[in-house]
Amino acid sequence: MTAAERGGSGTGTPAVAGVDDLLQRAYAMELEAMERYEEFAAQLEVHGNLEVAGLFRKLAGAERKHAEAMARDLAARGVAAAPGAALAAPGAEGFETDLGDTLHYLMTPYHALEIALRNELRAFGFFSDLSRSAAPDEIRRLASEFAQEEKLHVELVREWLARVPKPEEAWAYDPDEPRMPD
């Protein structure tokens, strides 16, 4: 079976070896997103940005619920909920995670939601592409289901974004920036 038949496009989309592989890697993707949002929350708590830290904790909780639902689905299919490598483009961050350097100690809830939206859009794009690939029918069917779930997540994050104020242009200005010891 070629990479394209397994779901890899040859253009950075990871190949999926089969249904169990897709399920386990999608589960790992949810766990990875949960862990990353918890890391972001912890980093922002250190800087005293408790509002955004709380939002990242809420996002981590949503990812935890997704992972728990996926673990139940795996168990119902008789597949161990033992995550392997998360779904990610080769050499890149996972589809539902961002690097820690995307954080700024003065970021606002709007910025946190922008990060979450990018992550959810990447996951939606991956599963949408996989659902239209030359992968076996069951993989495409599951990918389509996952794409619809991610689409709901995108819509939810967009709703949250619409409710928070967009930051002013000088949001990152701090007249008393933290200093790192030499």
In order of 20, 47, 48, 66, 89, the CA distances from 109 in angstroms are 36, 15, 14, 22, 27
Residue pair 134/4 in contact (Cβ under 8 Å)? The answer is yes
Residue 2 — left, alpha, or beta (φ > 0 → left; ψ -120 to 50 → alpha)? beta
Number of domains in the chain: 1
Tell me the DSSP string of 137-155. Answer: HHHHHHHHHHHHHHHHHHH
Establish if 81 belongs to a structural domain: yes
- For 107, other C-beta atoms within 10 Å of its C-beta total 23
Higher pLDDT, 138 or 74: 138
Establish if 82 belongs to a structural domain: yes
CATH number, domain of 33, equals 1.20.1260.10
Is the pLDDT at 3 greater than 50? The verdict is no
**Given this model, what pLDDT does residue 138 score?**
92
Establish if 5 belongs to a structural domain: no
Is the pLDDT at 6 greater than 50? The verdict is no
pLDDT over 70 percentage in the chain: 72
Is the pLDDT at 157 greater than 70? The verdict is yes
DSSP code at position 18: S
Establish if 4 belongs to a structural domain: no
Establish if 144 belongs to a structural domain: yes
Establish if 26 belongs to a structural domain: yes
Residue pair 116/170 in contact (Cβ under 8 Å)? The answer is no
What residue numbers bound the domain in which 152 lies?
16-163
Task: Return the top range by mean pLDDT from 86-90, 122-126, 162-166, 177-181.
Answer: 122-126
**Binning pLDDT at 50, 70 and 90, where does residue 20 land?**
confident
* Burial category of 75 from C-beta neighbours within 10 Å (exposed 0-12, middle 13-18, buried 19 and up): exposed
- Tell me the whole-structure pTM to 2 decimals: 0.72
- Spatial separation of the C-alpha atoms in residues 120 and 61, rounded to whole Å: 15
Which of 40, 80, 47, 85 lies closest to 63, judged by CA? 40
Establish if 6 belongs to a structural domain: no
Residue pair 105/49 in contact (Cβ under 8 Å)? The answer is yes
Establish if 179 belongs to a structural domain: no
pLDDT over 90 percentage in the chain: 14
Mean pLDDT (the chain, rounded): 77
